[in-house]
Amino acid sequence: MGARLRNKTALVTGATSNIGQAIAEAFAAEGAHVVVSGRSRERGAKVVEGIRAAGGRAHFVAVDLDGSPAASRALAERSREVLGGRIDILVNNAGIYPGEVTTATDEETFDRVYAVNVKAPFFLTADVAPRMAAEGGGTIINLGSWVARLAVPVGALYSSTKGAVETLTRAWSAEFGPRGVRVNAISPGVVGVVAPEGTGSHPAEAMMRGTPAGTIGSAQDIAQAAVWLAADEAAFVHGTVVDVDGGRTGTAVIAG
């Protein structure tokens, strides 16, 4: 167990799998008391069980972040209850990704993706940030995406929501930073999970050919960046989008 986040409390949305889970586990390993939030009680219970088995502190709070102010407020209130009254760190990670092209996207899908990816973190931050400021400060970390700035021919809707989140990061830094709340974002690159059985490699690895890293990243790579942004050593970091993408967006990619 580390101590970089000792005596801190954290709320991580979408923390029952993948990047959110890795962030929650990394925070707990550094001493934070973490709320794991998500829709699946079964997956949430497993994440909490794993954190506790490793000596960390965690609770699960079930929530369907549908974009309504009521859902975001309820999550914040319940999280403060289990965390002893305050939230020191908020990670806006929950999101959904429909891979359709623009012409195949209907209005219902459009509204649902913006509700989860933009409205939910907007109203959650609107609740949490002023309380952080009143209690002496805090840290908010948003999850953007490399596709917000380096376009791909599918997923325009998702890309636009992540562009909105990165813009909100800068706006919230200007709004809440002078009141003691640091707001930053992480822009993950191509992050993989287990390769399909029998393939030997993840299909997304083709997207990383010619980059400095040369391969896909892991959820743990993103989690370590989140720990740094949440910890005191990043005290002078405000309004920044940290690219954790193996050089995908910052360098010319020359395919071999």
What is the pTM (predicted TM-score) of this model?
Answer: 0.95
Residue 252 reports pLDDT greater than 90: no
Asked about 97 being catalytic, the answer comes back as no
Q: What is the pLDDT of residue 50?
A: 98
Q: What is the pLDDT of residue 108?
A: 97
Residue 195 reports pLDDT greater than 60: no
Residue 181 reports pLDDT greater than 80: yes
Q: Which of 44-53, 129-138, 242-251 has the lowest mean pLDDT?
A: 242-251
What class, spelled out in words, does domain 9-190+219-244 have in CATH?
alpha beta
Mean pLDDT, the chain, rounded, equals: 93
| Rounded Cα distance, 65 and 73, in Å | 10
Contact between residue 227 and residue 254 where contact means Cβ atoms under 8 Å apart: no
Share of the chain above pLDDT 70, in %: 95
Residue 196 reports pLDDT greater than 60: no
pLDDT in tens, 90-117: 999 999 998 889 999 999 999 999 999 9
Q: What are the φ/ψ torsions at residue 167 (nearest 5 degrees)?
A: -65, -45
Q: What is the pLDDT of residue 141?
A: 99
Question: Which residues, other chains included, contact 147 with Cβ-Cβ below 8 Å and sequence gap of 6+?
Answer: 155, 158, 159, 162
Share of the chain above pLDDT 90, in %: 83
Domain ranges of the chain: 9-190+219-244
Q: Using CB atoms within 10 A of its CB, is residue 104 exposed (0-12), middle (13-18) or buried (19+)?
A: exposed
pLDDT band, residue 203 (cuts 50/70/90): low
Q: Which of 38-42, 67-71, 79-83, 189-193 has the lowest mean pLDDT?
A: 189-193
| Rounded Cα distance, 27 and 12, in Å | 10
Averaged pLDDT, 17-45: 97
Taking alpha carbons only, the member of 186, 193, 156 closest to residue 169 is 186
Exactly one of 60, 122, 123, 158 is catalytic; name it: 158
Q: What is the pLDDT of residue 1?
A: 74
Q: What is the pLDDT of residue 136?
A: 97
